[in-house]
Amino acid sequence: MSVALAEGNLLDVVDYRGGFRGPDGEVTEVLAGVSFGLRRSTLTAVVGETGSGKSLTALSVLGVQPRGFVRTGGRMLFDGEDLFAGGPRSFERVRGNRISLVFQDARAALNPVFTVGHQLIDVCRAHRRLGRKEAEQVVLDMLERVRIPDPLRRMRQYPHEFSGGMAQRVMLAMALVSEPELLVLDEPTTGLDVTIQADIMDLLVELISSSGLTACLITHDLGVVAQTCQDVVVMRSGTVREIATCEELFTAPRDEYTRDLLAASRLVEAR
DSSP string, 164-193: HHHHHHHHHHHHHTT--SEEEEESTTTTS-
Is residue 67 within the footprint of another protein (CB under 8 A)?
yes
| 3-state class (DSSP) for residue 214 | strand
List 8, 22, 68, 86, residue binding ligand ADP (CB under 6 A): 68
Each residue 82-121 as x (binds ligand ADP by CB under 6 A) or -, in order, gives ----------------------------------------
- Whether 232 contacts 189, CB under 8 Å: no
DSSP category for residue 24: T
List 35, 42, 55, 189, residue binding Mg ion (CB under 5 A): 55
DSSP category for residue 92: H
- Whether 34 contacts 48, CB under 8 Å: no
Which positions from 188 through 247 interact with another protein, judged by CB under 8 A? none
Residue type, 61: V
Q: How far is the CB of 104 from Mg ion (least distance, A)?
A: 6
- Binding segment toward another protein, per CB under 8 A, in 43-51, 123-131, 132-140, 236-244: 123-131
Residue type, 145: R
List 35, 42, 52, 100, residue binding another protein (CB under 8 A): 100
Which positions from 25 through 64 interact with ligand ADP, judged by CB under 6 A? 30, 48, 50-56
List 96, 165, 238, 253, residue binding another protein (CB under 8 A): 96
Phi (first) and psi of residue 154, to 5 degrees: -60, -35
- Whether 239 contacts 33, CB under 8 Å: yes
Which positions from 26 through 55 interact with another protein, judged by CB under 8 A? none
What residue 52 binds from ligand ADP, another protein, Mg ion, none (CB within 5 to 8 A, per partner kind)? ligand ADP
Output 55 or 178, the one with its CB closest to ligand ADP: 55
For residue 219, give Cα distances in angstroms to 48, 71, 111.
8, 24, 25
Q: How many residues does the chain have?
A: 271
For residue 226, give Cα distances in angstroms to 59, 231, 268.
24, 10, 12
Write out the residues near another protein by the rule CB under 8 A: 59, 62, 64, 67, 92, 94-97, 100-101, 103, 105, 108-115, 119, 122-123, 126-127, 158, 160, 171, 174-175, 178
Write out the residues near ligand ADP by the rule CB under 6 A: 20, 30, 48, 50-56, 66, 68
Write out the residues near Mg ion by the rule CB under 5 A: 55
